[in-house]
Amino acid sequence: MPKKLKKSEKSSENKLLLEKQKVYKKVFENACKDLIMSNYEKRLTNAGLACIVEPDKYTVSVPFFDEVITFEVPGFSFKSSKQVNITLVTKIMILHYINTASGSPLSGEKITYEDIPGLRGYQPVFEKRAAKPLVVAFGYDRHAFIDAGQGLGAIPEDYGDASFTLYAFPRVPLTFILWEGSEEFPPSVKILFDSSVINYLPLEDITVLAKLASTRILKEARKGLSEGDFF
């Protein structure tokens, strides 16, 4: 009986993953169509992106955290400067950034997730996915936090006990602030956005992007770990 239950659970998980993949594929296809049907030269300019124009295609370069991802329009074949696999979610994020970009300048005003219009109700989900993993990993080790940021080419900041800013895209900075834990206070992490973020990403993508950023910080930190260390 237990074996049958495990097989059933595994089958159910696989089915859910397959359904999710179908949804992502449809979202990706729609984003591709949206870009092709637009004045994509203008959209690329609004997003602050460079491209090589050829008679039959555009080759677009997208700075994405600490790598550069290139893709062709049309065709939509993606390549990473790090020669790593590019997930479907990342491809969707790139296209959504380009399709949403308004070209407006950064405001310089840093705001919290809950201060972004329309997102306050999703704060618990955001904290669980993006902030909590960083608290668990770096809550009592700001030096590891700083090192991870430096490894990703982050810009140092002067907030909290340690902080830095990562550019997910040319016009989408994310600022990470760590307050180390002590005997009196638990550790905490805040993630701030430029208030112009709503001019560059759909609301639903903001949580996803912050999660991707947190994952990169954690992966960078793990590079320097010995076998006896872990998060």
Residue-wise pLDDT for 41-56, tens only, equals 999 999 999 999 999 9
Mean pLDDT, all residues of the chain? 92
- What is the DSSP code (8-state) at residue 131? I
Give pTM, 2 decimals: 0.90
> How, if at all, do strands 162-169 and 172-179 pair?
antiparallel
pLDDT of residue 10: 64
Cα–Cα distance between 59 and 78 in angstroms, integer? 10
Greater confidence (19 vs 24) lies with: 24
pLDDT, mean of residues 96-115: 98
Cα–Cα distance between 20 and 26 in angstroms, integer? 10
Percentage of residues of the chain with pLDDT beyond 70: 91
The residue among 209, 214, 211 whose CA lies nearest residue 198 is 209
Answer yes or no: is pLDDT of 223 > 80: yes
Answer yes or no: is pLDDT of 8 > 50: yes
pLDDT of residue 227: 39
pLDDT of residue 15: 73
Contacts of 159 (CB under 8 A, 6+ apart): 175, 177
**Can you spell out the DSSP letters for 67-123?**
EEEEEEETT--EEETT-----HHHHHHHHHHHHH---PPP---EEEGGGSTT-GGGH
In degrees, rounded to 5, the angle at the alpha carbon of residue 215 between the alpha carbons of residues 128 and 47 is 105
Answer yes or no: is pLDDT of 158 > 50: yes
pLDDT of residue 148: 97
The tokens describing 106, both together, are 């950064």
pLDDT-based confidence at 229, cuts 50/70/90?
low
Widest CA span in the chain: 65
Answer yes or no: is pLDDT of 167 > 50: yes
Answer yes or no: is pLDDT of 7 > 70: no
pLDDT, mean of residues 175-184: 96
pLDDT of residue 18: 81
Contact status, residue 46 vs residue 102, Cβ threshold 8 Å: yes
pLDDT-based confidence at 225, cuts 50/70/90?
low
